[in-house]
Chains A and B, each alone.
Chain A
Amino acid sequence: MKRFGFGKFLPLNSYMHTLDPRAKLVSVILLVISVFIPSSFYPFILIASLSIFAIFLSGLKIGFILRTLLKPLFFLCAFLLIVNAISLKRGSVVLDIMGFEVYSDALSFTSKITLRLALMLIFTTCLTATTKPLELTLAIEYILSPLSIIKFPTSDVAMMISIALRFIPTLSSEAGRIINAQKSRGVDFDEGNIISRVMSMLSLVVPLFTIAFERAYELADAMEARGYIPGEKRTSVHELAFRKRDFFLLLISLLVLVFMIYTR
């Protein structure tokens, strides 16, 4: 059941894979902000070419991007086009369909939004495809760490996220087992009226919750036994170290942002 869709980490060997997750996360944030700064068409060409460059550096294929990301975007674009054609009546008339006039503003507006969304998706996919979920958690923890000044429990939150991530595959296979056990007693998850479908869902959800609660108790004991105290300082077996290439990436992203602001 492993499908390489949007958001999934791909264990390839690209250049992006070697970059520090913090640098990648911050860069993506900067780039996505840049993408949404109002501007004319031409600065977009810069960002668009950057995005193609990013795709290559991430070890991804353009065809893959077009197929998985941009297909859903196509429908959104068509929908937006219709909505805007009806509501935006400014600029020059571009099309005349049996008396219904489509104005140039409608076209440019729609294409700008679509382009923005596409670029955002491309950059975030480059991030998630080249960064393990755990590394992302570390990056998030690092970036949120200043918040601990206002007593926000960043390291506890990061611990919770990493434990949740660790158990996703485990819960998934347990769910599979429960589904099989219930199917063996005649449950058909695809059949029946509302009531029986709710019961079918309960036969899966109740056991999963039971397992989860039992697990939570045992994990808490295990963590306490190994000296974990929420809120206390800990070191990390992971060592994130910035290298020249990470600074380079951050610099480029910052420059793009500045450029976009400058050329509004």
Chain B
Amino acid sequence: MSFISVRNLKFSYDEKQQLLDDVSFDINKGDYVAIVGRNGSGKSTLAKLLMGLESADGGSITIDGLELNEENIKKIRARMGIVFQNPDNQFIGATVRDDIAFGLENRCVSHEDMQNLVDRFAVKVGLENLLDKEPEALSGGQKQRVALAGVLAMQSDIIILDEATSMLDPRGRDTIKNLVRELHKDKSLTIISITHDIEEAYKADDCILLCDGRVCDHNKGKDVFKDAKRIRAIGLDVPFVGKVKEAFKEKGIFLEGDSEEEIVGELWQYTLKN
């Protein structure tokens, strides 16, 4: 049994449209999985289902052996954290300190332990000097770092990022991406990143593609995005490398590389031939 196991998940908000029809996939402990799909493919809903914020119409979700249901939800949520897309709409506390502590307060952590945890994880995300700041004084990227600190402070070992960088400017986006990468380094965290960032998905070791309510591919990012036509047909953007390969294919030059460097190398090889 894998760490996170989703089987035949079904969900719809109304009768007209079945959003998720038969979603199944497995995630191993310590993985970093990107989940992609066009707007409306149900990826955010999937995040909510994994957190138990919505209940599925059918199918099952099992996390580390525990089935996600009303009985186990508290135990499961103790290990999972989620960072949503809108930095303001998940910032509950009046200050950075208060927001990081929010989850701990809900868990009745003692005042002393709370202070230690808040300080520790504020340092981990680089916000130790902003603990008394109000959200209005923070940038989007800083607010998302607060959200991450809050999740880490709860000792979650499974983190879901629900398009956590899509409302940030490039600088904020980079800060969060680097921070998450850093946190994932020792593989103690399992990270599920629901993303609209095609380049991130392309570079991911593990990528799940959602379309028509089901998983239509689950592979290395490079392999998921190999077929540019299919990706376009689904409504997604093709990664830069894919676009380059397409353009050269039109000219009769077939390239195999997975990165820009590799492609440039191949093109150079071509000149040697001629």
A/B contact in complex, CB under 8 angstroms: yes
> Could you list which residues of chain A lie within 8 angstroms of chain B, going by C-beta atoms?
134, 162-163, 165-166, 169-170, 173, 214-215, 218-219, 221-229, 232-239
Contact of B86 among A134, A165, A218, A234 (CB under 8 A): A218
Nearest B residue to A218, CB-CB: B89
Least CB distance, A147 to chain B, in whole angstroms: 21
Chain A residues contacting B53 (CB-CB under 8 Å) are: 221, 224-225
Contact-residue size bin, chain B (C-beta under 8 Å from the other chain): 35 or more
A-B contact pairs, 25 of them (CB 8 A): A163-B92, A166-B93, A169-B134, A214-B89, A218-B90, A219-B89, A219-B92, A221-B84, A222-B84, A222-B90, A223-B92, A225-B53, A226-B92, A227-B103, A227-B106, A234-B106, A234-B108, A235-B105, A235-B109, A235-B110, A236-B111, A237-B101, A237-B105, A237-B118, A238-B98
Q: How far is the CA of A174 from the CA of B92 in the complex (A)?
A: 17
Judging by beta carbons under 8 Å apart, are A173 and B90 in contact? no
Q: A169 vs B103: C-alpha distance in the bound complex, in angstroms?
A: 23
- Complex: A227 Cα to B76 Cα, angstroms: 11
Is there a chain A Cβ closer than 8 Å to B227's Cβ?
A: no
Best-buried of A173, A223, A232, A235 by chain B (most CB within 10 Å): A235
Closest to A239 in B: B111
**A137's closest neighbor in chain B, by CB?**
B94
In angstroms, Cα B114 to Cα A237, docked, is 7
Q: Which of A225, A236, A237 contacts B81 (CB 8 A)?
A: A225
On whether the beta carbons of A236 and B134 are closer than 8 Å, the reply is no
Contacting residues, chain A, for B77 (C-beta < 8 A)? 225, 227
Closest CB in chain A relative to B274 CB, distance in Å: 57
Contacts A163-B92, A219-B92, A239-B111 supplied; 11 other A-B pairs, CB < 8 Å = A165-B94, A166-B94, A166-B135, A215-B89, A218-B84, A226-B102, A235-B114, A237-B101, A237-B104, A237-B111, A237-B115
- Considering only CB atoms, which chain B residue lies closest to A173 in the complex? B136
With contacts A166-B135, A226-B150, A227-B107 known, is A221 near B114, CB below 8 A? Answer: no
**Are A225 and B51 within 8 A (Cβ)?**
yes
A217 to chain B, nearest CB (A): 8
Which chain B positions have C-beta within 8 A of A224? Answer: 53
Say how far B122's CB is from chain A's closest CB, in angstroms. Answer: 12
